[in-house]
Amino acid sequence: MAVEFGVFVPQGWKMDLVGIEDPYEQYEAMTRVARVADETGAYDSIWVYDHFHTVPEPTMNTVFEAWTISAGLARDTRNVKIGQMVTCNGYRNPAYLAKVASTVDVMSNGRLLCGLGAGWYEHEWRAYGYGFPEVPVRMRMFKEACEIVHRMFTEDGPVFDGEFYKIDRPINEPKGVSSPHPPIWIGGGGEKVTLKLVARWGDACNVGGDLDTLKHKFEVLKGHCENEGRDYEEITRSTSINVYLLEEGEDPEAATREARGSKSYDEYSREFMVGTPEQIVERLQPMVEAGVEYFITYLPRVAYDPTPVEKFAKEVVPNVG
């Protein structure tokens, strides 16, 4: 399988729209990046985060809601797939989420990637009135939700009576355009629950970590696939990366000053791959050899200048694999 790439659009979660005051213009900036990515022909997908409050701390700034903008971007673009990395299970009833996802899949003519995750950002959970269950509870909720979403995509009138969720023959028509169903991307590297859910219900996983961690997680996933009777090669193995592209000869510390704000260069370079396209390719190649088939890329400050989206498409994407 050829290595594929997706790219995040700026939706505000990482404080990446604060330089634009008007909320309509903020949305248009996000859409512009999506269209640029679409027009390059190099990206398989564009992605959004499912968050309500900014990071690294909640501030009174714009963060666009993930599924609303997924629907909008489905109509703003023509070729790229649209994914969420990842939908927080605690924010929506899973049967309702499956209905929303099926609608967006139709709106995009089968270009939806349905991202699912257990959720982690405590401040959001409590602020919006969802409480914040302990990890074991959130994982049991997530386990039920993955089954419900999959069954809503693939069955007529499913019935489910779980600890947290109950459904009684919901009608989900149309189920989508994608065949056999909208792909389910499960985020997280938990070895006992999350990767087992990938093997049972997922079409793709998204895990993080260094090379050794990636190799280990993929081996764990392979073991779960064997236990589930699932073909490991059916599952797309992805990871998310942060990249700051440099021009040849550009000073890294000076070039990143505006993007990193109050962070030191050392701190920033631990979070971002900083380098020329050639250097980024060199850093990604070992990850491919570790088993990564799909990179989901975050590029800073593209709301103000989408040029790095084009540069990455031309000078990085074709050279990895």
Q: What is the pLDDT of residue 1?
A: 58
Provide the percentage of residues in the chain whose pLDDT is more than 90. Answer: 98
Q: How confident is the model at residue 2 (pLDDT cuts 50, 70, 90)?
A: confident
Mean pLDDT of 248-274: 94
Q: How confident is the model at residue 101 (pLDDT cuts 50, 70, 90)?
A: very high
Mean pLDDT of 307-317: 98
Domain range annotation of the chain: 4-319
Q: What is the pLDDT of residue 233?
A: 96
**Over the stretch 214-237, which tens digit does the pLDDT of each residue have?**
999 999 999 999 999 999 999 999
Q: How confident is the model at residue 204 (pLDDT cuts 50, 70, 90)?
A: very high
The C-alpha atoms of residue 93 and residue 26 are separated, in whole angstroms, by 29
CATH 3.20.20.30 assigned to 4-319? yes
Mean pLDDT of the chain: 97
Vertex 41 angle, CA 117 and 28, to 5°: 65
**Over the stretch 17-49, which tens digit does the pLDDT of each residue have?**
999 999 999 999 999 999 999 999 999 999 999
